[in-house]
Amino acid sequence: MYRVLEHRNVSITCFILFHIKSNILIFIFDFIGSYLVEKINTHPDLELAFVWNRTTSSLDQFPNKDLIITDLSEIKDREVDLIVEVAHPDVTRRWGPEFLKHADYMIGSPTALSDQSLEDSLRAAATTHGLYIPTGAFWGGEDIKKMADRGTLQGLKVTMTKHPTSFKLGGHLKTKLEEVKDDSVVLYDGPVRELCPLAPNNVNTMAAAALAAHNLGFDKVQGSIEADPRLTDWHIVEVDVWGPGDIQEDRAFHVKTVRKNPAAVGAVTGSATYASFLSSMLDIYVKVSLPEREQDTGQSNLEEKV
């Protein structure tokens, strides 16, 4: 989980609302949202407060109708500390700066930030509340961010391979995807910024990588997506990192990780990513509740001081 900007209060976007002790969190409801609701309801320090979905009928089976809101503008009239989005980048485009006036915000669809003007507006709005990016399926992000902080990160490429039915693509990539038959096809290979608008639901991992590798950003971090009809049990994410040394002569620091995430045919998100989102959310909870716990005990966390 990456802090773009940080403050005490926190919110979550999937739109389900719940309390962190005296604090309240919100989620935008989808498959990951359903998973998070289940975990919230069994957590001793969390209490669900309300839920929201772009399609109201999707919540017809939600058991507690009193928790459903239909208009996100109601947030300004509610006590909200953390908003967590795990639905669609359009939510951040429409509501992100407004959310940050009232609560901390965790963006589960960071492909929205490939729009530089939106990223700038969110950073400008995050003066009182924090802006957070979950790690999701991005492996090794903390080390990559450290390299970016030190200016030693020279290159980063993320390659994602999935079954064709797991991709939701637009523009010319949609046409290219429809032509995939029996063999694996590379649908795109190039800068992440150009890819995000064409695959907003599929490449949040790459967007998180571009934000962690902030000295490279969306224009210099490279992304590749490959459709493989034979890949029926997994999503595969490969991360190539280059650090100090001569890349042209193949004498630079280089790390490659391969992450195989169990996933059914047609699934947009692999199953292991759900737990990653939960961990990011709980990490925010720990950071947000730390000042209150320090005040209660008179003790501080060494890690926060170093």
pLDDT at 290: 54
Which residue, among 219, 213, 210, has the nearest Cα to 151 in the 3D structure? 213
Q: Where in the chain is the domain with CATH 3.40.50.720?
A: 2-137+272-305
* Beta-carbon-side half-sphere exposure of residue 16 (alpha carbons within 13 Å): 26
Confidence of residue 6 (pLDDT cuts 50, 70, 90): very low
Please say if the pLDDT value at position 102 is more than 60.
yes
Q: What is the mean pLDDT of residues 13-42?
A: 57
Confidence of residue 12 (pLDDT cuts 50, 70, 90): very low
pLDDT at 22: 35
Which residue, among 134, 132, 135, 136, has the nearest Cα to 122 in the 3D structure? 132
pLDDT at 296: 47
Which residue, among 49, 53, 48, has the nearest Cα to 30 in the 3D structure? 53
Both tokens of 216, joined, read 């490279």
pLDDT at 29: 59
CATH superfamily to which 141-267 belongs: Dihydrodipicolinate Reductase; domain 2 (3.30.360.10)
pLDDT at 57: 76
* Beta-carbon-side half-sphere exposure of residue 301 (alpha carbons within 13 Å): 11
- pLDDT tens column, 115-164: 999 999 999 998 888 888 887 667 788 899 999 999 999 999 999 999 99
Q: What is the mean pLDDT of residues 52-61?
A: 76
- Tell me the residue length of the chain: 306
- pLDDT tens column, 260-280: 988 889 887 765 667 766 777
pLDDT at 289: 60
Residue keyed to tokens 């003007």? 117
pLDDT at 68: 75
pLDDT at 43: 78
Residue keyed to tokens 């709005």? 125
Domain 2-137+272-305 architecture: 3-Layer(aba) Sandwich (3.40)
pLDDT at 302: 24
pLDDT at 25: 59
Confidence of residue 249 (pLDDT cuts 50, 70, 90): very high
pTM: 0.80
- pLDDT tens column, 69-92: 788 887 777 777 778 888 789 999
More confident site: 4 or 249? 249
Q: Where in the chain is the domain with CATH 3.30.360.10?
A: 141-267
Please say if the pLDDT value at position 55 is more than 60.
yes
